[in-house]
């Protein structure tokens, strides 16, 4: 069994820089802690398969929106920088394990365009990048296990890069006073 605890804080603000431009700035902090437990058939605690772990993330982001041609064209440009520290922790009963820590930074940009083709009909396009960090056990830790007389060694790779994805979408939005229809195609 295990416990997974998520705590954090988010702060965000926006400013109208001018009649044409506005900026959104934000800061996120998140801590995720996982604790693992295992039990024998008798109910006695045993060493868990996974080590306890903690991940701290500090993210900052900025997005600028530029409104042109009397709001008929809207351009957004943004980016987010995350600083992530992930570590495996000393885990009760897990004597074959040495904890460690890995730290890395990830930058993800985005850009979007919305343009009014005729009154009530807008075309839009966005592209952005995202990521998924590896689990703590893939980045940190050193475990030795003897199975059938053979010693198995598992060691995290602190140089392992996060999985990345890039998403594109394009579509059209039609709106009137009572109706709004948006058709969008996307690919990740």
Residue with tokens 């939005």: 173
Return the pLDDT at 47. 86
Distance CA 168, CA 111 (A): 10
How many whole angstroms separate alpha carbon 153 and alpha carbon 4? 26
What's the confidence (pLDDT) of residue 142?
Answer: 84
The pLDDT value given to residue 105: 94
pLDDT digits (tens, 9 = 90+) for 102-117: 999 999 999 999 999 9
Taking CA atoms, 170 is separated from 150, 157, 177, 180, in Å, by 55, 38, 23, 17
Q: Which residues of the chain have pLDDT under 70?
A: none
Beta carbons within 8 Å of 82's beta carbon, 6+ residues apart: 57, 58, 59, 105, 106, 107, 108, 131
Residue 134 confidence (pLDDT): 85
What pLDDT, on the 0 to 100 scale, is given for residue 123?
97
């Amino acid at each position: 069994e295990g416990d997974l605890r998520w705590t954090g804080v988010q702060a965000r603000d926006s400013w109208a820089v001018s009649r044409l431009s506005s900026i959104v700035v934000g800061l996120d902090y998140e801590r995720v802690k996982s604790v693992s437990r295992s039990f024998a058939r008798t109910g006695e605690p045993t060493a868990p398969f996974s080590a306890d772990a903690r991940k701290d993330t500090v993210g900052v982001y900025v997005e600028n929106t530029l409104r042109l041609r009397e709001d008929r064209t809207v351009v957004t440009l943004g980016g987010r920088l995350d600083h992530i520290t992930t570590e495996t922790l000393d885990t009760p009963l897990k004597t074959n394990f040495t904890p460690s820590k890995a730290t890395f930074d990830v930058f993800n940009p985005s850009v979007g365009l919305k343009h009014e083709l005729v009154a009530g009909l807008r075309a839009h396009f966005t592209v952005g990048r995202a990521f998924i960090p590896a689990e703590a056990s893939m980045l940190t830790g050193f475990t030795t296990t003897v199975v059938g007389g053979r010693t198995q060694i598992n060691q995290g790779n602190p140089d392992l890069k996060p999985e990345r994805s890039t998403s594109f979408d394009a579509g059209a939005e039609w709106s009137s006073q009572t109706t709004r229809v948006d058709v969008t195609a996307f690919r990740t």
